[in-house]
Amino acid sequence: MAVDLAPAAPGTAGSPILVADIGGTNARFGLIDGRVVRDTRVLRCADYASIEDAATAYLAAVGLAAAGSPGRPRRGAFAVAGPVTGDTIAMTNLVWQFSVSRVRDALGLEGLVVINDFTAVALSVPRLADEDRRQIGDGAPQAGAVVAVLGPGSGLGVSGLVPGANGRWTALSGEGGHVTMAPTSDRESAVLGQLRKSFEHVSAERVLSGPGLVNLYGALSTLDGRGPAALTPAQVADNALSGSDPHCVEAVEMFCAMLGTVAGNLALTLGARGGVYVAGGIVPKLGTLFTHSRFRMHFMEKGRMRDFLAPVPTYVVTHELPAFLGLAEAAGTE
């Protein structure tokens, strides 16, 4: 699959740039070649002992295993699900821990940029076309205003974009997915109380992620005196979409509502009049169920701040590889 990039990232002439979006479950690799991301592959993280093993396997799969082979990348840009504070990276939901300089040398790269995965997603927002996003509810973006980005997947990523001079944007790098989850109803309070029996801290990520969706289903089932089945996040979502299990339906409905609560909190914190973008692997698959959920209602239900949030648009990112668009920018700003 090839993804067109516009404008081209600086410094990509001559050889492609190796890019990777590495989450808790999958590692997505590709090559940025001029204006195009090509040769994309998805590898299961659990199948590899380290990030360099996965990257080496990818290069072999696309015929670039030999050092010095024609077309082998000389630079790389990786997005990882976890904090990036120095040379040593420890991923939040994966056992991989690595040194950026060691991986750079192991792969024979001249340079390697590593950024948080949702920093990369945030950097993609100015590159998204209209067909790469779906608006939920009303509102219109304010030109040149701060943008908020969040998205549930293996964890909950949170970032934002701050406008600067000459049309440039600065992406925030933080760990907002680990803020404390606040309830907005008695039922949500009961669920969070049930989860506190298992977790010392019930963060937003404990309910707004793939594992979080299972946590919600399990807590709701237990509260109603029913032993939860051993379901995967995909099975919970599928059962909700088909309407075959009422606790799965309620879990997904509560997931959407709680995501609206957290998205509204983020918009207030950042003053995100430029819009709020929901990315990640879960929400786009919910389709019209998410569109007609309580997400937007909970997003705006902030008491005296309702009028502040009502004009703020909310979008679902439908582009398959938004982090790669952001890495195209990061690769040119090393």
Query: Do the Cβ atoms of 295 and 260 come closer than 8 Å?
Result: yes
Same domain, yes or no: 239 and 145: yes
Whether the ω angle into residue 7 lies within 30 degrees of 0, i.e. cis, is: yes
Same domain, yes or no: 178 and 261: yes
Same domain, yes or no: 311 and 327: no
Over the chain, what is the mean pLDDT? 90
- Model confidence pLDDT, tens digit, residues 150-201: 999 888 989 999 998 877 888 988 889 999 999 999 999 999 999 999 999 9
Same domain, yes or no: 38 and 140: no
Same domain, yes or no: 148 and 45: no
275 is in an annotated binding site: no
Total domain count, the chain: 2
Same domain, yes or no: 256 and 326: no
Asked if residue 333 has pLDDT above 50, the reply is: no
Q: CA 110: distance to chain centroid? A: 28
Residue 12 pLDDT: 39
Same domain, yes or no: 149 and 35: no
108 is in an annotated binding site: no
Q: How far apart are the first and last CA of the chain?
A: 26
pLDDT category, 35, cuts 50, 70, 90? low
| Listed range (37-46, 88-97, 132-141, 227-236) with the worst mean pLDDT | 88-97
186 is in an annotated binding site: no
- Model confidence pLDDT, tens digit, residues 115-157: 988 888 899 998 898 999 999 999 999 999 999 999 998 889 8
Asked if residue 40 has pLDDT above 80, the reply is: yes
- Model confidence pLDDT, tens digit, residues 245-266: 999 999 999 999 999 999 999 9
25 is in an annotated binding site: yes
Same domain, yes or no: 142 and 118: no
Same domain, yes or no: 273 and 147: yes
Residue 164 pLDDT: 86
22 is in an annotated binding site: yes
State both tokens at 271: 């003053």
Q: What is the CATH number of the domain that holds 172?
A: 3.40.367.20
Question: Mean per-residue pLDDT for 106-119?
Answer: 90
Same domain, yes or no: 208 and 116: no
pLDDT category, 5, cuts 50, 70, 90? very low
Q: What is the CATH number of the domain that holds 21?
A: 3.30.420.40
pTM for the full predicted model: 0.83
Same domain, yes or no: 91 and 210: no
Same domain, yes or no: 134 and 100: no
pLDDT category, 14, cuts 50, 70, 90? low
238 is in an annotated binding site: no
Please give the Cα distance from 260 to 280 (Å, whole number): 15
Domain that holds residue 309: 129-318
Asked if residue 3 has pLDDT above 90, the reply is: no
Neighbours of 244 (CB within 10 A): 10
Query: Do the Cβ atoms of 160 and 270 come closer than 8 Å?
Result: yes
